[in-house]
Structure 1
Amino acid sequence: MRAKQRRAFLTRAAAMAGACWLHAPAQAATAGRKKVLRTAFATAEVGFDLPQVSDQTSVVVASNIFEPLLSYDYLARPAVLIPLTAAGLPEVSADFKHFVFTLRPGIFFADDGAFKGRKRELVAEDYVYSIKRYYDPRIKTEHLYQFETAKVLGLSELRNEALKSKQPFNYDKPAAGLRALDRYRFEVRLAEPDPRFPHLFANANYSAAVAREVIEAYGDDISAHPVGTGPFRLKSWRRSSQIVLERNPNFREQVFESLGAAAGHTQAEEVGRYLTGKKLPLLDEVHISIITESQPRWLAFAGGDLDLVEMPTAVARLAVPNGRLAPNLKKQGVQVFQSHGSDITFSYFNLEDAQVGGYSPERVALRRAIVLAYDNAEETRLVYQGQALPAQSMLPSLIYGHEADLRSEAGQPDLARAQALLDLYGYDKRDAEGYRLHPDGSALRLRRAGGETARERQIQELWKKRMDAVGLRMEFETATFGELIKKALAGQLMIWGYVWDLGSPDGDFLLGMGYGPNAGQSNDARFQLAAFDRLYERQRLLPDGPERLALMHQATRLMLAYLPYHPHNYPIRIDMSSARVRGFLRHPFTRDRWRYLDMDEK
């Protein structure tokens, strides 16, 4: 039976009896002798030019094609920085303002027509050029703030010159803070200390190397032509349907090494024993399907059409009843991996919006009332089937700055307090349908954006129910994730929520989502508060320790007081694989895990 017909059959069968969801993956034959991993994502990709994307699918795929200088040890916990394309960790000055990176010689890009038939070695100038791309006004990126906040000397001036003159960005003009020293070394100079700056070079989203020839050859179509030094290259792409990666023939020899797993981390210890001494990557191809709805995605795994999938929460009670793998799945060798602590599910309020924005007491009270009226615990129970932990702030447990004993209004729903707040601050007037009005008598309409999935429909039903309970009218708009990202960056959404998968173990990124100058980039809420900005700037300059933690905690409390963001939960991710998948470990801060995976055909 062909795959499409088989999936249709499974879908019909599931409609008649949900129990069939628990059929274990079949041991599908592999084409030829190739090792092919088949996996799926719930959201469609936007493209593969890392400065221009932030959605999970695009970033994960591109992170297996492109490489930053550094990475994190696959097994070690807590996270440990290691060299990737670099020959070692960077040289860092005592004042944390000067950094020198040295590349490992003999690393080559995947072959591409832009190189005109020659092998193209990775050199220091490629990283210099790649970083400059974030400053190019023609490139629409939400990641520029990562470098502007770090205050790399001279680059903002180059950007401003291009903006003022309306001429193309001058990539050839020297900048005091970024230059190649020779073929394999480059330096970065900052205006202010940044003790955690090297972590920026462990995230492909901010610092992966591209070749200038490729960018210039493909122009505006560069998102469809990713050419990197990573273990895989793009073989084929059917937009919003399937992405196929194949082993990069030019990939260097990389033998797996690790500092070792933390004591007692059984899964990591097993992975270490399996991978030690093996040459990476182990797979020949990775086939990524885009399956937006939970049920078809699970059925594709249960029917043997996928080897690895993040378990949809909708099937949690069937697949892992009472937190244990269902007996028939266990019998067939299905593997289950649980992780949490580096992700955050949240909503944001656009503080420039005429309905919910502003800093006056009545507008802050409105946002507080919305947060108090909504029930995160009910969302976790009904929508996520218990596969999440309650969030009290925007900083999850594995992130530096997290406060384990913090309790906030986000984690304590109270309809009575929400009603009282609204009445107290002038939202006591009602329209003909019984919905509350603004204190000045004008219509009050909340509008929440979301995707077009069954889970999103559940979330919308819960929002509607909880807002109706306090007399707030809420409406909804739906679009694809890519369309919503564009609207968010343009400040066109009132309320939106999603999951952020962190790429660094530090809380600076999440606090930076409230930093005023980041508005229109990571600061979707467009929060602008001088007191918060000063706290954020001060903590950035300090090394880790009690003084910095105290400032981070003060900043967290200001965010909770003004509520530009509404933290919901910290997701528990459950990955499932067939018995053939080996080497899987979800590192909390890396995206290139496919280089470590293998398919055991025995």
Structure 2
Amino acid sequence: MTNKQIPAARRQALQAGLSLALLVAATPGLATAPQATTATSAATSAATSAASPKVLRYAFRIAETGFDPARVSDLYSRSVTPHIFEGLYTYDHLARPTQLKPLIATAMPEISDDFKTFVIRIRPGVFFTDDPAFKGKPRELVAEDFVYSFKRFADPANNSSAWSDLAEADVVGLTAYRNELLKSKKPFDYDRPIEGLRALDRYTLQFKLRGTRPRFVYTLAQSDLFGAVPREVVEAHGGTVMEHPVGTGPFVLKQWRRSSLIVLEKNPNYRERYYDAEPAADDAEGQALLARLKGRRLPMVDRVEVAIIEENQPRWLSFLNGQFDLVYQLPEDFINQVMPQGKLAPNLQKLGLQSWRTLNSDVLFTVFNMEDPVVGGYTPEQVALRRAIALGTDVERERTLARRGQAMRAQSFYLPNTTGFDANEHSPASEYDPARAKALLDLYGYKDVDGDGWRERPDGQPLLLEAMTTPDAFQRQIDEIWQKNMAALGIKVRFKVGKWPENYKALRAGKYQLWWLGTSASTPDGLDSLGRHASERIGQNNHARFRNKQLDELFTRASALPDGPERLALLNEAKRIAAAYMPYINRLHRYYTDLAQPQLIGYRRTVFWQNWWEYVDIDESLRAR
């Protein structure tokens, strides 16, 4: 595409705020958005009519891994699965603070006084999308489907990273059976009754937990993981089930080119479900959305096309050119020209673009493999090395230069909008102090013995850090900052470059030394963040493979306590232990700026959930010509 092919009004507005040379030079990268140019041209032609399908288009910045809820763990795959599968509960799309409401369940659960038994009734007349496994017959969702779906997370063959959520809940009989299989290596028997996971009748589900779990309902609200999966489909498709998702949700997967393009279409047999919400009375944006969309049948768009464009520049320019309806998380590279002084640039306002800026419930961290002989371990000198690396990591430089100020310094592993997070906290573990870092290294024997300018380990062996990384230009900025930080301490660094899914596979297997990673909250509770340090979650979300008896005990106690001062004290004690051993360097919480074209109606960034596609509409009359 050339500059002449950009619509005149859009071109004039862009030239007012962007370098035309930059726009033209980067235009070839636009072709990396699969199918987008052809599809957008068709959608914006004179042939557009009321009968034309409404298509939502945007791009992921990182590739997905697949769409089997029991096997996915990355955010991008989990952004797709809740639109195909449905859990028992969901979050009110507009309510702030967050509020749960039934989805497949008919009402909130009946809970015993000790928070150990949960009884849930599900809606009759909900059907899975058609699949050959059903042999041409409609297949109704029943309680037994949830029993089967939850069992899949306990099956060692699935190696589910989400097993930690159920392990913490400790469903009666389920953990014991999993442990039995881990020892015997026998296959999971899905017909074996589990006392704590039962279908009482066709539409009634019962959970019995060994411990008191006041917040178990949050687990049941994660449709991206705990949506119902039909057994026939899993057994029919076997090893290809990651690419063959079948659920009851508002969309169905129509096309998937791995790491390139994901296409979903409206489920033609989706039950009658209508837009409704309960925004706060003083929430002007929420009230306006409710007034505009209340009573509309869901979903409102006919098709969703998601491209995967890892480099920031082509992804951003594709949006500017009108190929995408949304920039989900504006690349930090462009924040100053797009949002000067925190406001949308005048030239972009002329295009009718919409913008939102929110503090995300996430944390960016550096993770050490505690089983690695160089950076792992619990001896004083091994702890000193990790703490020195933390003190020598200039996170503020990453925040201001690479991320253009679009983040706040993390003081602990707890995430914004979750219990345990304190916006006013200051932790010594978050300080940048290279002088103290060097002193620590000297004190514990990490010295330059051979005079080559690089430190050796206390036993005289070379000190070399090998960090996994990804090949994109943005990550290279962060890598360069950190490499210079470590060179200033006399520590040599080597990078191992790989695609994100490859690196994540190595992480799960414990075959790495250190990596940069991020995680987002899936519930309002901070316990999952604490769980990243619990030894029972090694191989799941305890990526550091950290073991500490005292912290394990705090995790167990906090799981059972109701919210309040006693529980908060335990959460605070846990972060002090984590800061002392430093299995992770918690660096930043990101601010996200999302931009949308004028034709995208109803968008609002979610907090703990990913299913928002059914709540938005596309007004083709507002699309730029």
Using the size of structure 1 for normalisation, the TM-score is 0.95
Identity among equivalent positions (%) equals: 45
Identify the match of residue 300 of structure 1 among 298, 302, 318. Answer: 318
Letter in 1 for 2:320: A
Matches within 5 A, 1:99-138: 99-138=118-157
1:194 equivalent in alignment to 2:240: no
Aligned in 2, Cα 1:168/1:51: closer, same or farther, shift over 3 Å?
same
Work out the CA distance in 2 between the residues paired with 1:85 and 1:126.
12
CA distance in 1, matches of 2:487, 2:236: 55
Cα distance in 2 between the residues matched to 1:241 and 1:247: 21
Partner residue of 2:255 out of 225, 232, 236? 236
Structure 1 residue 287 corresponds to structure 2 residue 296: no
Alpha-carbon distance in 2 for matches of 1:180, 1:540 = 25
CA RMSD, aligned part only?
A: 2.2
The CA distance in 2 between the partners of 1:135 and 1:209, in whole Å, is: 15
Alignment equivalent of 1:309, drawn from 321, 327, 343? 327
Please show how residues 200-599 of structure 1 align to structure 2 within 5 Å.
Answer: 200-261=219-280, 263=282, 265-310=283-328, 311-599=330-618
| Partner amino acid, structure 2, of 1:590 | W
Cα distance per residue 1:534-568 (max 9 Å; x no partner): 11111111000000000000001111111111111
Measured after TM superposition, the shift of residue 430 of structure 1 is 3.7
Distance 1:108 1:548, change over 3 A: same
Amino acid at match of 2:72: V
Instruction: Give the distance between the partners of 1:589 and 1:20, measured in 2 at CA.
Output: 38
Aligned residues: 595
TM-score by length of 2: 0.92
Q: 1:567 to 1:165 in 2, by over 3 A?
A: closer
TM-aligned CA deviation for residue 165 of structure 1: 4.1
3-state DSSP of counterpart to 2:528: helix
> Which deviations, in whole Å up to 9, do the C-alpha atoms of 1:107-153 show, x marking residues without a partner?
11111111111111111000000000011121121111211121111
Q: Give the Å deviation of 1:432.
A: 4.0
- Segments of 5+ residues of structure 1 without an aligned counterpart are none
Tell me by how many angstroms 1:205 deviates: 3.8
Change (3 A) 1:281 1:21: farther
Q: Take 1:226 and 1:261, find their aligned partners in 2: how far apart are those partners?
A: 36
- Which structure 2 residues correspond to residues 68-147 of structure 1 after superposition, within 5 A? 68-147=87-166
**One-letter code aligned to 2:516:** G
Q: CA deviation at 1:77?
A: 1.2
Q: Deviations over 1:432-468 (max 9, x none)?
A: 4211111121111111111121111111101110001
In structure 2, the residue matched to 1:182 is: 201
What SS does the aligned partner of 1:181 have? strand
SS of the equivalent of 1:299 reads: helix
CA distance in 2, matches of 1:33, 1:597: 17
For structure 2, list consecutive stretches of 5 or more residues without a partner in the other structure: 28-39
The question of whether the paired residues in 2 share the 8 Å contact of 1:76 and 1:262 is answered with no
Q: Is the 8 A contact 1:104 1:184 kept in 2?
A: yes
User: Shift in Å at residue 258 of structure 1?
Assistant: 1.3
Deviation at 1:161, TM superposition (A): 4.0
For 1:342 and 1:47, locate their aligned partners in 2 and report how far apart those are by CA, in whole Å: 24
CA distance in 2 between partners of 1:278 and 1:252 (Å): 13
SS in structure 2 of the partner of residue 226 of structure 1 = coil
**Offset of 1:89 from its aligned partner?**
0.8
**Pair 1:17-2:21 in alignment:** yes
Greater Cα shift, 446-455 or 546-555:
446-455
Q: Which moved more, 1:283-292 or 1:359-368?
A: 359-368
Deviations 1:135-180 (A, max 9, x none): 1121121111211121111112332443444332110110111110
In the alignment, residue 354 of structure 2 is paired with which amino acid? Q
